[in-house]
Amino acid sequence: MKKKSLWILLGILILLIGVYFGIGHWQKVQKEKDDLEKEKSKITLVKGNDWKKLSYTKDGSELRFEKKEDTWYVEGDDKTKLTQSYVTAIAEAFSDLQAVRELKGGDELSDYGLDNPTYTVTLTDKDGKQIVCYIGNGAGENYYFTMGEKKKVYLIPGEVVQTLQYDLEQMKSTEE
């Protein structure tokens, strides 16, 4: 009788171990599926690039920067020293820009603040190819965004816009 009970308990233990590993494997497969779905649903607006020039308008004034030998300068002014992290953050934010989502429904650009954008960002790569991006009104934590011929409207993360909050005086280096 004791042997029979021992075999039953051993069988139950083996069954529970099998269930444990089976559930672990199932969860791993589900996570891989979810990750694949997330990857498929990403909307990449601007693909990674090594920008050589960037400019943007903020409150009606334009800031223009150019990169020479891995150092950012005010365009046409190699003497003004910049705190590199400011301009680098902008370049990186627009190097692999992904939308939160695409807006569909055909509203007017003015509904999103894109008829007169808050920011206009122009990016130029090493081959001279330019991309013009327009950022409009905020929408919660995100901002309305379009580019080029303004045919599609997207929401982009607010972190991207935060990189554009500084003026030239704030970007100047205080180190000699």
pLDDT in tens, 113-152: 999 999 999 999 988 899 999 999 999 999 999 988 888 8
Instruction: Provide the b/e sequence for 86-117 (b: ≥16 CB within 10 Å).
Output: bbbbbbebbeebebbeebeeeeebeebbbeeb
Confidence (pLDDT) at 28: 83
pTM of the full structure? 0.73
